[in-house]
Structure 1
Amino acid sequence: MDLRDRLLVQVSTRDVYDAVALAGHPGSGLVFTGQAAHDAVRMVRRNGYDGPLLADRRRYAGSARVRGTARLSADWIADQVEAGATAPLTDSGYIGKRDHEALHAILEQAIQWEGAIAVLPVHPRWVAEDRPVLVRTITDYGTPVALVVEDGPPYRPLPLPLLSAGVAALGALAHGAEWAAIGVREVLRHLYPEPHEVRGGWRRGGARSAFVPERLDFVPVERLGEGTCGCSTCHGRPLRHLARAEEIEVNSHNAKVLHRLHNRLLRATHRERWWWELRDATLTA
């Protein structure tokens, strides 16, 4: 089961009954999130889902997150393999600013499991000022990785898979990442700094946001404008109708619109150029 060019949908275990509908498009797949994520993988496999499945334990997030030097769990790897995950993800802790010890600890442990993907949840400095060191270190170890980038300033995409991302997932795919995952809700599209300070634009938990292609961004449903959407969920109605919709309907719209963009990306003859032209068009709209 190949992850190549996949745009995955990242969900929580409580989404298990809706998840398959959100990832029913060709080129999609699922990432379940949380301590029981492997159980969700097992459940949808038993129900016949044959697309890519990953399980992100997400020990790197929240006020109780662990540091990347924490020991990785062999049982967590084994549970994912037994459940039918496409590839096991390490239950990594957080890699802080200039925390080379944590970066090496995760990669050093991950290489002991053939086929395992080392999850690297990094402070934003790693993808900005320290990206040459990050890329060189990953290359030296040679193990597959998936980045989770903590909220920070915009950065140029890296050709590395992304977890818990927003629209940056498309940017990563355009720049050569094997796969990437977009979260169905705000808390799964971000790695918030801790301690978390409430600031404008950050909406935790179950707050509903709809993806607006013209803005290349997720917009809180209460702030949607007059624009219409032709996806099979919206049927040409104004996007603002989603303000009254259930979360599954909002997420269904998001999955369909992102799938359409993903298809355009896959058809592009020069993916990086396609991405930057799309970004430029959004900024000038």
Structure 2
Amino acid sequence: MDLHERLLVQVSARDVYDAVALAGHPGSGLVFTGQAAHDAVRMVRRHGYDGPVLADRRRYAGSARVRGTARLSADWIADQVESGVTAPLTDSGYIGKGDEESLHAILEQAARWEGVIAVLPLHARWLTQDRATLTRTVVDYGVPVALVVEDGAPYLPMALPLLAAGVEAPAALAYGAEWAAVGVREVLRHLYPDTHEPRGGWRRGGARSAFVTERLAFVPVERLGPGTCGCSTCHGRPLRHLVAADELVVNTHNAKCLHRLHNRLLRATDRRRWWRELTAAALTA
């Protein structure tokens, strides 16, 4: 159940009944999201799921998100361990632009628990102008971390695990990250700036996006082009058939296409070069 080179699927705790179908292939795993995430972990464990599972409380997102100086919860850690997670994640708050106090607060608290992964939800500037400070601080504390990067700047790959990501997740693996997680829907593939945070969460029947491998992008189903897909969900049909499909079918397509991409990544002899060439080809697609 280790996380080594895993491409995880990040879902809401409400997706517990569909989750195993999305993460049942080799090399995958699950991240449940929300206050009830540990309950979802417990449920899939009781039903025999033996892949890696994490629980992200996501206190760093939404209009009521907390700052990274907030106290981390020992009860949250204990509940995760009891539920059967592969490794417990901290219930971190948000680390704003230049907020070194929050960065230190999360890492210092996380260091008190053995085997805990410190979640670092970061303003995008931390991966651009403040990248050296971030790297140095993480190394100094020596705590396992997982990044969540706020929208606002192009993602620059780092060899650190990612939560709540899109195509940045396989990019992180290509650059040496231990593991990474792709959100099953838009709200779980982004950390939106507070003023743009969607209100009310996800509603069944809402917007759906399909992963198009040639473009390395999630595309709203209404905007899919004429291409076809050979995954075992699409069976060579035009991608546009997903316009009329329900969300589980779209997400199953996404999971299978990402799994194939992940397998190609693991077979690449020079992963960084392979990813750069794939990205260049996607820009011309």
Residue 262 (structure 1) aligns with: 262
How far apart, CA to CA, are the structure 2 residues paired with 1:195 and 1:219? 24
Give CA-to-partner distance per residue, 1:209-266, whole Å, 9 cap, x none. 0000111000001111110001000011100110100100000000000000000000
- How many Å separate the matches in 1 of 2:240 and 2:209? 11
1:214 aligns to what SS in structure 2? helix
1:163 paired to 2:149: no
Matched, 1:195 2:195: yes
User: Which residue identity is paired with 1:155?
Assistant: Y
> Do structure 1's residue 249 and structure 2's residue 249 form an aligned pair?
yes
1:92 paired with 2:92, answer yes
Question: Contact (CA 8 Å) 2:8, 2:179: kept in 1 or not?
Answer: yes
Q: Give the ranges of 4+ consecutive aligned residues of structure 1 lying more than 6 Å apart after TM superposition.
A: none
Q: Give the residue type in structure 2 aligned to 1:156.
A: L
Q: Map of 1:23-38 to 2, 5 A cutoff?
A: 23-38=23-38
Shift of 1:197: 7.4
- Would the aligned equivalents of 2:62 and 2:197 in 1 still touch at CA under 8 Å? no
| Corresponding position of 1:232 | 232
Matched residues in 1 for 2:130 and 2:143: separation? 19
| Displacement after TM superposition at 1:48 (Å) | 0.2
Map of 1:103-142 to 2, 5 A cutoff?
103-142=103-142
1:49-64 → structure 2 map (5 Å cutoff)? 49-64=49-64
Which residue matches 2:9?
9
Equivalent in the alignment of 2:19: 19
Q: Measure the CA separation in 2 of the matches of 1:62 and 1:68.
A: 14
Alignment partners' CA distance in 2, 1:211 and 1:53: 23
Q: Aligned equivalents of 2:132 and 2:155: distance in 1? A: 13
Structure 1 counterpart of 2:39? 39
TM-superposed CA distance for 1:14, in Å, is 1.0
TM-score with structure 1 length normalisation? Answer: 0.97
Residues 1:191 and 1:197: Cα distance change in structure 2 (over 3 Å): closer
How large is the RMSD of aligned CA atoms in angstroms? 1.0
Provide, for residues 13-56 of structure 1, a one-character-per-residue CA deviation record: whole Å limited to 9, x for no partner.
11100000100110000000000000000000000000000000
2:217 maps to which residue? 217
- Deviation for aligned residue 1:155: 3.0
Residue deviations 1:134-172 (CA, integer Å, cap 9, x gap)? 000000000000000000121320000000000000110
Distance 2:66 2:153 in 1: 23
Contact in 1 for aligned 2:228/2:236 (Cα 8 Å): yes
CA distance in 2, matches of 1:69, 1:12: 25
Q: Which amino acid aligns with 2:21?
A: A
User: Are the counterparts in 1 of residues 159 and 175 from structure 2 also a CA contact under 8 Å?
Assistant: yes
Comparing 119-128 with 188-197, greater Cα deviation is found at: 188-197
Cα distance in 2 for partners of 1:54, 1:65 equals 20
Aligned to 2:177: 177
TM-score after normalising by structure 2: 0.97
Residue segments in structure 2 that go unaligned for 5+ positions in a row: none
Q: 1 CA distance for matches of 2:155 and 2:43?
A: 37
What is the one-letter code of the residue matched to 2:62? G
Q: Which residue of 1 aligns with 2:68?
A: 68
Q: Deviations over 1:81-129 (max 9, x none)?
A: 0000000000000000000000000000001110000000000000011
1:68 is aligned with what amino acid? G
d(CA) in 2 for partners of 1:230, 1:27: 20
Q: Which runs of 5+ in 1 are unaligned?
A: 199-203
Distance 1:47 1:108 in 2: 36
- Counterpart in 2 of 1:201? none
Name the amino acid aligned to 2:145.
V
Residues 63 and 197 in structure 2, CA contact (< 8 A), matched pair in contact too: no
Taking every aligned residue pair, what percent have the same amino acid on both sides?
80
8 A contact 2:119–2:147 mirrored in 1: yes
> 3-state SS of the aligned residue for 1:195?
helix
